[in-house]
Chains A and B, each alone.
Chain A
Amino acid sequence: MTLAGWCLMLSSVALVVGLNAYCFYRVFKAPAPAEHLHAPLDIETGEKMD
């Protein structure tokens, strides 16, 4: 294993691990999207208007 080989291997692995760490950190840190809240008129009660 040459010095250049070490440098390329470690920098490739570090780059990919770093990218994963950043991405997954942001994914898990992001707040969950708000659920759609049903307004009273959205709710199907089964009653008929007439």
Chain B
Amino acid sequence: MVERERETWSTRIGVILAVAGSAVGLGNFLRFPGRAAEYGGGAFMIPYFVSLLLLGIPVCWVEWTLGRHGGRNGFNSAPGLFAVVWRHGASQVFGALAVLIPVIIFAYYVFIESWCLGYAWFYLAGSIDPGSDAAQYPLYFAERFNRFIGAHQDGVLFTGTSPAPLFLAACFALNFSLIYLGISRGIERFCTWAMPALVLAAIAILIRVLTLGTPNPAHPDQNVLNGLGFMWNPKPLGGGSAFSALGDPQVWLEAAGQIFFSLSVGFGIILTYASYLKPDDDVVLSGLTASAANEFCEVCLGGLITIPAAFIFLGAAPLANVIGSSIGLGFHAVPVVFEYLPWGHLFGFLWFGLLFLAAVTSSLSMLQPAIAFFEEGFGMGRRSAITALGLVTGVGSLLVVYFSKDTVALDVMDFWIGSTMLIVLALFEVLLFGWVLGAERGIEEANRSSDIRIPGVFAPIIRYVCPAYLLAILGGFAWRNLPGQVRAIFERPAAVFTVTFTAIVFVFLFLLVRLAMRRWETQGRFANVAQRRFA
């Protein structure tokens, strides 16, 4: 067994940037603008900010508080953190789920991350050349991307026809090297320079986009103002007045879902990160600041760059066809923009470089929950824990890479784990905080040593509003997607393999959680929890 000194964050800004880095990802620059433009334009922002206030920020505070509380009692992994609050079988099930979720998401997210790295490299090396016929640009980029990720045929990426596996291997090596260095020297140090670099790159692109004017005199309507209007003008979904979208429950569900997925809640990541805080470190202001930083990247950068840029060079009709798909928007539509820009290759490199940085700060955070569990559950050293995790995530990624046709394996993992189970875990966390612990006691714990206080009105919000909101998102999400996803399991062998793999990993993790729990009981690690609880 390896006994080691407890790791902690070395600076407050470091942990804030690490949590913000975990939240800021491709969704901020691709998913948010697409959703907003598709579901009501500027009107979308009203349910969006309501969801931020009533769901996003409270759930963040819940995770930060549960994490710091568990850390104070000597735990860093979700099974231990949950058991500190509730010694019940449910804590074991959801503890295993909290370890499973980031592991599975990492397995496919790192593949997406490798696309960004690949495109950044292609732009830097000047190897993207769609020719001189502008009419062929969209087709060229769609086809090039499909060939790059092996979307035409399963197993094609193992034949050496695409360099994608090389970029994937580079991403794996980078993530595991950084995580090997630990919380302070690895994650914190990397995020402390990567987050400012990401923001600076995004600001440079933003300035370029906002100063484009009307680049093509043949299409005077395709200008910056109309591009911003395409994103921000309130518009009805079907017919009616400009703000009639607000009467559509679908718009509210989409806005709540966007806030939820954007803030990285329900991953078990914030929980784990917060457990490395010192017992008297602030959580309320730090949690709010990390959420605010994520919102800055999403609203002020993502909201002003992607759609206006694509509108100016593609026009309204072609853009409307791709805004529903983050991948279509990011890898089919936006590269067309760089072909028209002076220094387009430089801006292409900056754009995919910033997406890559955003992806790394997120994927990096997905490794820590499982490492924390292996380390404290079985006394593993960091190297052994990383080897075990590398094996599981490696097999998962190979599955995603092999079943690349129409990205079936990736989509199945994203639906069942990256979307549905995230909401289920967040629901468990708010119920744990609001009902098992008691919302008032939980808020009292959060406010201890904090620089700002959570107002008392958030007690009923966490107790009643957050669970209701999450149930509504889960219901709406399942109602729209579940039939198709269940059908896919019966129709596509790739989906069967993926679901089976995920189920096996979950069962394996659940058994490990039970073993770890027994080990902690034997070691008497829960003995002082009752006395220390909210002392």
Contact = CB atoms under 8 A, between A and B. Distances in A.
Interface of A: 1-2, 4-9, 12-13, 15-17, 19-20, 23-24, 26-28, 30, 32-33
A40 B286 CA distance: 34
Contacts of A12: 42, 45, 49, 299, 303
Nearest to B288: A23
B292 A27 contact: no
A19 B225 CA distance: 26
A23 B280 CA distance: 19
Given A5-B41, A13-B304, 18 more contacts: A1-B226, A2-B234, A2-B242, A5-B42, A6-B232, A8-B42, A8-B43, A9-B232, A13-B299, A16-B295, A20-B295, A23-B288, A23-B289, A23-B292, A27-B13, A27-B289, A30-B451, A33-B12
A33 to B, nearest CB: 7
B300 A13 contact: yes
Given A19-B295, A26-B451, A30-B282, A1 B289 contact: no
A16 to B, nearest CB: 5
Contacts of B41: 5, 8
Contacts of B452: 26
Given A1-B226, A5-B42, A8-B42, A17 B296 contact: yes
Contacts of A7: 42
Contact of B229 (A5, A15, A27, A33): A5
A1 B285 contact: no
B285 A4 contact: no
A30 B281 contact: no
Contacts of A20: 289, 292-293, 295-296
A22 B452 CA distance: 11
B184 interface: no
Interface residues of B, number: 36
Interface string B170-190: 000000000000000000000
A5 B233 contact: yes
B157 interface: no
Contacts of B274: none
B371 interface: no
Interface in B218-248: 225-226, 228-229, 231-234, 242-243
B228 A9 contact: yes
Residue from B225, B226, B278, B292 having most chain A Cβ neighbours under 10 A: B292
Contact of A4 (B12, B49, B242, B293): B242
Contacts of A16: 292, 295-296, 299-300
Interface string B28-59: 00000000000001110100010000000000
Given A13-B300, A26-B451, A1 B286 contact: no
Contacts of B49: 12, 15
A4 B289 contact: no
Contacts of A5: 41-42, 228-229, 232-234
Given A12-B45, A13-B300, A26-B452, A1 B292 contact: no
Contacts of B281: 33
A20 B20 CA distance: 12
Nearest to A19: B292
Contacts of A19: 288, 292, 295
30 contacts: A1-B228, A4-B42, A4-B234, A4-B243, A5-B41, A5-B42, A5-B229, A6-B232, A8-B41, A8-B45, A9-B42, A9-B228, A9-B303, A12-B42, A12-B49, A13-B303, A16-B292, A16-B300, A17-B300, A19-B288, A20-B296, A23-B285, A23-B289, A23-B292, A24-B289, A26-B451, A27-B286, A27-B451, A30-B12, A33-B12
Interface string B283-325: 0011011001101100110011000000000000000000000
B16 interface: yes
A2 B229 contact: yes
A26 B303 contact: no
A49 to B, nearest CB: 23
Contacts of A1: 225-226, 228-229, 232-233
B147 to A, nearest CB: 38
Closest 8 CB pairs of A and B: A8-B42, A5-B233, A1-B229, A23-B289, A9-B232, A5-B232, A19-B292, A1-B225
A23 B57 CA distance: 13
Contacts of B293: 20, 23
A12 to B, nearest CB: 5
B300 A33 contact: no
A4 B233 contact: yes
Nearest to A30: B451
A8 B292 contact: no
A45 to B, nearest CB: 19
Nearest to A36: B278
Interface in B146-165: none
Residue from B226, B289, B293 having most chain A Cβ neighbours under 10 A: B289
A36 B280 CA distance: 12
A30 B280 CA distance: 14
A25 to B, nearest CB: 10
Contacts of B451: 26-27, 30
B506 to A, nearest CB: 37
B369 to A, nearest CB: 25
Residue from A5, A19, A32 having most chain B Cβ neighbours under 10 A: A5
